[in-house]
A and B are shown apart, each in its own frame.
Chain A
């Protein structure tokens, strides 16, 4: 047991009680990150100086009995959040050397409340991917292993999930566009929540798909997620899609009492051919909810099967436009072919700067927005998106929350070679509908499969009702009592 095994809540309370200092806490994490990063590759940039300076400030405040909600707590920041003066890459070659002169709203809130930045964590390039396999800075390894071999941490917030699971940070910032917080949380046996679209400001987050992108925390339990959300959520006049709503105290929603809560079980989330262990884990979750006094209700979300196709029209369409600004003119990579003009510079810069998956999505997006194809693809996808949201709206007239598996499979290894890109996209099949509807969703560990690998359970709530999502997740988390540690950590301890 080290300081790194403590949860965020335990660190917060321990710091207040002066059981240890923010500087000790930061140093212990930084030392471990530096020692293990060659293996995990969870961090693109380690900000030791920065962290120690923040920790010293926290210690000064804590000594006076002052400080914010997470004073002195170390945090990993997904490298999609712009951090002033600190390299911000989006895990892409095209942002080479980019140090923003501004700070994202979310990270600003964290530092205002005493958070300590350990570094910038790895991700799929521009958050496009489900295995952290597309980063220009290399794959990230999960601390979970099969037959002694590391597995993927999931994606796109793979660095965040790996770091939190490997006890390199108690909590990390993630972003979720189609499942990028929930799926890696499931793969790494930890907890991650995507709040309602509009809860967290997108200002200063490198955009992938603006109508879907949403920030959220990845932590080791529901309470830590609630504490982080308390700091992160809130209206931001700098983001026109941010919701001007009061933010409740999410930690207060963790009562453990869910008696009489109605939980929907959508029949469409048992597709043919799915891993039976996923269904078994889900069924176990359903039984536990019943035992906690919740009322389980069978529901239907009839347009679920169209969600993935809809998502893979809308997200690439927005990305094709959002990524147009990476042109070599103002920042990041610039490749200028000898004797070439502006168009040559664009082509060479973008050819060298973007990886294959990003290019694929830019091309799909450009295609679906093109004259003659717009109505058949983009416009139709927008209509189906509305139908999917309507499915949820109707379901939530009958239930308080919905329980589903987070991902259709257990984490896979680096030797897994999908036969085509769509096979990889299928990882998001259970998380994408929530994203399209803009609803809050959390993934908590549901148990281990026969290989000892973690499987995730997803709870989905009504728009802006993170309290119910967190409350039910907390009760279920207590009932499941998941304590398994990743093989890599068990091995290290042995």
Chain B
């Protein structure tokens, strides 16, 4: 009768053969990870240049920060673009869309009436609003010379008749120095 074979935990003592990394203790792993005499794999993140970079961005953004926000452009107005332009100036804004005229967001006339009349005319509502603005400015700034500057935001499809009527009305109301707001094309101009 043959003997029952021993299971794997009850093998007779024998000299072990060659085994891969059998003799490697855990210390070796630790040594390997920490560099093992070579360059360490631990890295210091260079925070100081990063902070310098952030500070530069902050200073640039602070320098270009505008507390007054974006120039108010009526959402119904698509402005044309031009090359030979001047920088924007602070002045009352008159928006001229396909249907209405707005002064600083407040309705001040209808463009359809001008188109239907088919002749150059003074826009009475706009005239009154601009005249009141001018008188208010003079009351707030006594003794100062009034510049008479107004900025027109005119939609690119508006007809020249409407533009000329608004231009003339602004001049009659004491704003002869009219500027048209446009997008900037290229880098020319003063």
User: Do A and B originate from a single complex?
Assistant: no
Q: Which residues of B contact A (CB under 8 A)?
A: none
Q: Which residues of A contact B (CB under 8 A)?
A: none
